[in-house]
């Protein structure tokens, strides 16, 4: 009938976005304009079977909610840690940060169960796509984004396109090494910026200081009983004048900054966008390291903090939404 | 007359190639097939005026010789250390390795004096062009070259083109930092691979060991009286079992390897070509570091040693020679 037709016309074209991080598994309904209509968050399961089962369960719930919310889902976009072949929709390899997540075809089980087209890419690459469509990267031909969460991811846009590399291992910016030795990384190497400056790295250092009983300030910690020690405690302790906590953050900022200068000396973008919960903490130390250590020709770079709430999730959505106007791969 | 016409037809189309390095200034006549017909070498003068004067003097001598050698010079290609704007033919900035060499228009004085078109690019970028036209890079869509001489330069070919970056500072591969501190570099920073693994860095370490009287092996040095200490002495001492000399080379190889892994994690080429006098020494340590520290998806990279005699010089020539078939910039 006529009212149904009008309802149908008024439906919002939307994407189902999935973000698989080192800690959380998130699913969202994202509208064409970049609005997150509804979001679902769970801990990312430790095994392959549970993970796939939970993704499907959350997606089905979201699809059912989408009908009531009058959102027409055009497809599923998946952002995940690890190296991804986006042409095949396959995760080639992940570090220990996401276990049992190598040589995994994500596209087939999702498209079979959900009857929707599925796009998959690396989380840092998705973050770059999100900046390009919705954020500071709009209209910028060459830029780089670094997203700091549990781990560190990145994406490189050159001539308005993602750089995937010859074996889909480009823009693995978390694994830029800034030390010949340095702290151990989840990837098996040492001295990666992820091992210095990620949420996980700061938590490791917070625990170390806590175990040495030096995380508290003036005899006071801001920790409740049995609360797990986290990067937040480290940042608070540093703010309150704890010099050991401050030294950890200084080293983290220096490591991230040196890693970014390496990016400038390799691909020389015109803009670097920092995103993730720690972005605002890192902007000023990164700018300082660029002043001190970049070649004069590279110092004119702009460093901005993302104003997107969920870059990886938004980028996952953008793969779906952009497909309606152009072919992506 | 007829014999003159035939002579003219039989002339070899050639380029005048100029290479400005940290130590030497070289000029060569290079034929279309990549043959160095004649080469001229002088020490690179320390001042701007002397340098420009010597370039012009050497080019004029070469042009005059070219007539006798029946080479028709199509243009001049200049390879130089430092950041170059190839569209303008201007050196934007050099490190202390080449003094008085920032904001220098090379194209105008050369084309005015020699009445020939002039192309200019960075030495590492020229080395990449040479590999693409004459070397291992032939037909390879994505590769990187690293050239180790007095300093360290590099070039990145992506989608069959040089990556110049937003301010002509891309592929400054000598200034990839692999340490938060590390040895001082000519660029003003610290821990750059140039400060660990260049000829200059090895000479610095050789001098240090010589001054500490530990460069000799079994009481014997292979140095003649008053001979300057060089990287060669370090390499010979290491070969003869000097553990301190060996440790220096180990660290140099490790630093270069970690720098190259950073390249793999950023642009993920399918091939890395090492060139310069130290290339063959570095191939095996670099491959070892890749095995140990690269993400599994990046380990399949090929690492080759260049078989070109003079990559930077040949690349300078290729800018001229390629112009006859296509527009370069
Ligand atoms: Ca990435
Ligand atoms: Ca270069
Ligand atoms: Zn790592
Ligand atoms: Zn440097």
pLDDT of residue A329: 43
Are the C-beta atoms of B18 and B42 separated by less than 8 Å?
Answer: no
Write the DSSP assignment of A56-113 as a string of letters. Answer: HHHHHHHHHHHHHTTEEEEEEEEEESSEEETTTTEEEE--TTSSS-SSEE-HHHHHHH
- Tell me which of B7, B121, B123, B181 is the catalytic residue: B123
Report CB contact under 8 Å: B167, A266.
no
Ligand 3 geometric centre to CA of A248 (Å): 18
Residue from B167, B190, B256 whose CB has the most chain A CBs within 10 Å, to mutate: B167
Residues of chain B with pLDDT under 50: 328-329
Residue from A84, A91, A165 whose CB has the most chain B CBs within 10 Å, to mutate: A165
Enumerate the residues of chain A whose CB falls inside 8 A of the CB of residue B170: 265-268
Work out the widest C-alpha separation in chain B, in whole angstroms: 72
Residue from B166, B256, B271 whose CB has the most chain A CBs within 10 Å, to mutate: B166
Report CB contact under 8 Å: B190, A300.
no
Instruction: Report percent pLDDT > 90 for chain A.
Output: 87
The pair of structure tokens assigned to B129 is 């062009």
pLDDT of residue B329: 42
Question: What's the whole-number mean pLDDT along residues A281-286?
Answer: 96
Output Rg (C-alpha) for chain A, integer angstroms: 21
- Alpha-carbon gap: A128 to the closest alpha carbon of chain B (Å): 14
- Residue with more model confidence, A1 or A295: A295
Q: Strand A143-148 vs strand A271-275: parallel, antiparallel, or unpaired? A: parallel
pLDDT of residue B3: 62
| Among candidate residues B6, B2, B10, B1, the one with its CA nearest the CA of residue B70 | B10
Q: CA separation (Å) from B59 to B15, B40, B323?
A: 11, 9, 20
Report CB contact under 8 Å: A179, B178.
yes
Ligand 1 geometric centre to CA of A176 (Å): 12
The pair of structure tokens assigned to A148 is 């700091």
Return the ligand number nearest the Cα of B129. 2
- Residue with more model confidence, A132 or B3: A132
The whole model's pTM is what? Answer: 0.94
- Alpha-carbon gap: B322 to the closest alpha carbon of chain A (Å): 24
Report CB contact under 8 Å: B295, A187.
yes
Question: What's the whole-number mean pLDDT along residues A163-170?
Answer: 97
Ligand 2 geometric centre to CA of B290 (Å): 22
Q: Is the pLDDT of residue A145 over 60?
A: yes
- Alpha-carbon gap: B220 to the closest alpha carbon of chain A (Å): 33
Enumerate the residues of chain B whose CB falls inside 8 A of the CB of residue A186: none
Q: Which of A163, A171, A297 has its CB closest to that of B167?
A: A297
Res. A5 pLDDT band, cuts 50 70 90: low
In sequence order, the 6+-apart residues with CB closer than 8 A to the CB of A50 are none
The B302-305 sheet, strands edge to edge: B161-162, B152-158, B143-148, B271-275, B302-305
Q: Which of A83, A164, A178 has its CB closest to that of B295?
A: A83
Task: Give residue-wise pLDDT tens across range A222-259.
Answer: 666 678 899 999 999 999 999 999 999 999 999 999 99
Q: Over chain A, what is the mean pLDDT?
A: 93
Enumerate the residues of chain B whose CB falls inside 8 A of the CB of residue A167: 268, 270, 297-298, 300
Output Rg (C-alpha) for chain B, integer angstroms: 21
Sign of the dihedral through C-alpha B83, B85, B86, B89: negative
Ligand 4 geometric centre to CA of B260 (Å): 15
Report CB contact under 8 Å: A172, B262.
no
| Among candidate residues B156, B151, B128, B125, the one with its CA nearest the CA of residue B260 | B156
| Among candidate residues A272, A274, A276, the one with its CA nearest the CA of residue A309 | A276
Res. A7 pLDDT band, cuts 50 70 90: low
Enumerate the residues of chain A whose CB falls inside 8 A of the CB of residue B298: 167, 169, 172
pLDDT of residue A328: 45
Which helix (H) or strand (E) is A308 found in, with range?
Answer: none
Report CB contact under 8 Å: B189, A251.
no
SS (H, E, C) chain B: CHHHHHHHHHCEEEEEEEEECCCEEEEEEEECCCCEEEEEEEECCCCHHHHHHHHHHHHHHHHHHHHHCCEEEEEEEEEECCEEECCCCEEEECCCCCCCCCCEECHHHHHHHHCCCEEEEEHHHHHHHHHHHHCCCCCCCCEEEEEECCCEEEEEEECCEECCCCCCCCCCHHHCECCCCCCECCCCCECEHHHHHCHHHHHHHHHHHHHCCCCCECCECCCCCCCCCCHHHHHHHHHCCCHHHHHHHHHHHHHHHHHHHHHHHHHCCCEEEEECCCHHHHHHHHHHHHHHHCCHHHCCCEEEECCCCCHHHHHHHHHHHHHCCCCCC
Enumerate the residues of chain A whose CB falls inside 8 A of the CB of residue B264: 169
In sequence order, the 6+-apart residues with CB closer than 8 A to the CB of B317 are B15, B16, B17, B28, B30, B34, B77, B130
| Among candidate residues B27, B10, B26, the one with its CA nearest the CA of residue B62 | B27
pLDDT of residue A9: 59
């Amino acid at each position: 009938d006529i009212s149904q037709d009008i309802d149908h016309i008024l439906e919002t074209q939307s994407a189902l976005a999935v973000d698989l991080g080192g800690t959380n598994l998130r699913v969202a309904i994202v509208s064409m304009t970049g609005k997150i209509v509804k979001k679902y968050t769970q801990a990312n399961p430790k095994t392959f079977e549970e993970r796939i089962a939970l993704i499907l369960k959350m997606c089905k719930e979201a699809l059912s909610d989408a009908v009531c919310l009058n959102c027409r889902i055009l497809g599923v976009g998946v952002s995940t840690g690890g190296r991804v072949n986006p042409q095949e929709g396959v995760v080639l390899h992940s570090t220990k940060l996401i276990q049992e997540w190598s040589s995994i075809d994500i596209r087939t089980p999702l498209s079979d169960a959900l009857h929707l087209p599925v796009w998959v890419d690396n989380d840092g690459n998705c973050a770059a796509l999100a900046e390009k469509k919705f954020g500071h990267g709009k209209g910028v031909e060459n830029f780089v984004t670094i997203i700091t969460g549990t781990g560190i991811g990145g994406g490189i846009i050159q001539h308005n396109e993602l750089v995937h590399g010859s074996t889909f291992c480009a823009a693995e910016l978390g694994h830029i090494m800034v030390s010949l030795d340095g702290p151990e990384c989840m990837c098996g190497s040492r001295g990666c910026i992820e091992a210095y400056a990620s949420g996980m790295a700061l938590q490791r250092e917070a625990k170390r200081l806590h175990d040495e009983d030096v995380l508290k300030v003036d005899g006071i910690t801001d920790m409740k009983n049995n609360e797990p020690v986290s990067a937040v405690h480290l940042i608070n302790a540093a703010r309150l004048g704890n010099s050991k906590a401050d030294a950890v953050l200084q080293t983290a900022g220096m490591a991230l900054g040196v890693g970014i200068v390496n990016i400038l000396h390799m691909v020389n973008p015109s803009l670097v966008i920092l995103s993730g919960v720690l972005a605002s903490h890192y902007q000023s130390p990164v700018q300082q390291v660029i002043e001190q250590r970049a070649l004069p020709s590279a110092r004119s770079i702009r460093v901005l903090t993302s104003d997107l709430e969920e870059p990886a999730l938004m980028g996952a959505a953008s793969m779906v939404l952009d497909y309606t106007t152009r072919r992506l791969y």
